[in-house]
Amino acid sequence: MGGLFTICWVTPMTKSHSVYFIPKGKNNFRNFKIKKAFDAYFKLSCTQEVLEKIGCSAIFISFSDVLFANKWKEDVKDAFPIYLDSDRSLYKYFKMQRSITQVSSYVKYQPSSTKWTKAQKKPLRYNLLIFNHIFLSSDLGREKKKILRECNAL
Amino acid sequence: MDRKKSLLKYSSQVTSIIAAARSLVQEKGVENFIKNEMVHIFENYQALETLCEEMNCVSVEELEQKLLESCEDIVETVKEFHSTESAWNKFLSDLDAQLLYPEDLECKEFKDFQLRPLDQPDQILKFSQVLKSNSNEFKWVVFLRFAG
């Protein structure tokens, strides 16, 4: 496990999608604005098959308690395994930014990716979530990179 | 309820939420606030949702648009809305400024961090075990964050 850590994070609130490539042992993040990607989670779901093809799988890590994590799982019918890290030790290790501002924006996160109306049940407040994707790789081969690019995962 | 009343009510609600939250942070500290008092942050959303409903908007974007198109008699109130928004953002950025990580975590080996599977919360696994939990070569880790 060495070389390149790719950290991709999404703030549903700002609808921005940034990917950070972090050379091991360094903290100088290079920020690549990819495209507005409100739906990284959906993208991740859609690309699960592709990720598996290249030998990559996804796990979710939640800092919240069991209750919140289960609520999330039930609501999005998430197929990915979820782990709890209430101390945020891993998150801290990667020096991921802490920010209440980033999880408290006015823009709503809409699980169905469709706008809710007054008649519909309001979504849970997933605008309070930030997804940080960490893709661990010693060396991504050209072929694997091509597959990931094709599904916009890189 | 007319637009002006709705906007003023929202503004006053947010001002109260900020005052209550600031007082809690001062009294108990920001970490305690994040752990136990985030409901105050949620209250802001509640107020905003109510405002959206009263203004017949299905999204905050639509609300913003409606405010921009507002007729002159509520211009001042719209200003009040934006000033409320600024006050809220200032409040949040003040909280952010207090969020720091302890330095002693820097040297740890990340593979040894401990995680608990959601379906078996009593079990403790090292992150290295989680990474090796199947034959896949790489893992894509997604952090779910509910608070700062």
Interface confidence (ipTM) of the complex: 0.72
Residue identified by tokens 């920001």 is: B30
Instruction: Give the residue extent of every domain in chain B.
Output: 3-97
The answer to whether residue B53 scores a pLDDT higher than 60 is yes
- pLDDT at position B28 is 92
| Phi, psi of A7, rounded to the nearest 5 degrees | -115, 125
Is A65 part of the contact surface with chain B (CB cutoff 8 Å)? no
Q: Which of chain A's residues have a Cβ under 8 Å away from the Cβ of B55?
A: none
* CB < 8 Å to A117, chain B: 58
**A49: part of which helix (H) or strand (E)?**
helix A48-53
Contacts of A135 in chain B (CB under 8 A): 138-141
Q: Which amino acid is at A37?
A: A
Among A79, A9, A135, residue whose Cα is nearest residue B141: A135
Q: How far apart are CA B128 and CA A49, in angstroms?
A: 23
Question: pLDDT for B1-49, tens place per residue?
Answer: 578 888 889 999 999 999 999 999 999 998 888 777 777 777 787 788 7
Alpha-carbon span A129 to B41, nearest angstrom: 13
Other CB atoms within a 10 A radius of the CB of residue A53 amount to 12
Q: Identify from A83, A109, A125 which residue to disrupt to test chain B contact, counting B C-beta atoms within 10 A and taking the largest count.
A: A83
Task: With a cut of 50, say whether residue A26 has pLDDT above it.
Answer: no
Q: Are A55 and B138 in contact (CB under 8 A)?
A: yes
Nearest CA in chain A to B46: A125
Higher pLDDT, A135 or B1: B1
- In this prediction, residue B12 carries a pLDDT of 93
Amino acid B24: pLDDT:
94
Cα gap B30→B93, rounded to integer Å: 12
Q: How far is A151 from chain B (nearest CA, A)?
A: 15
Q: Quick check: B130 and A101 CB within 8 A?
A: no
Contact yes or no for B89 and A101 at CB 8 A = yes
Cβ burial, residue A134 (10 Å; 0-12/13-18/19+): buried
Is B141–A58 a contact, with Cβ atoms under 8 angstroms apart?
Answer: yes
Closest CB from B99, B116, B119 relative to A99:
B99
pTM of the model: 0.60
Q: Considering only alpha carbons, which residue of chain B is nearest residue A72? A: B144
Chain B positions in Cβ-Cβ contact with residue A38 (cut-off 8 Å): none
A60-104: per-residue pLDDT in tens? 777 766 776 776 676 666 557 888 887 777 777 666 667 777 666
* CB distance A21 to A32 below 8 Å: yes
Contacts (Cβ under 8 Å, ≥6 apart) of B116: A83, A84, A85, B122, B123, B124, B125
CB atoms within 10 A of CB A48: 16
3-state secondary structure chain B: CCHHHHHHHHHHHHHHHHHHHHHHHHHHCHHHHHHHCCHHHHHHHHHHHHHHHHCCCCCHHHHHHHHHCCCHHHHHHHHHHHHHHHHHHHHHHHHHHCCCCCHHHCCCCHHHCEEEECCCCCCCEEHHHHHCCCCCCEEEEEEECCCC
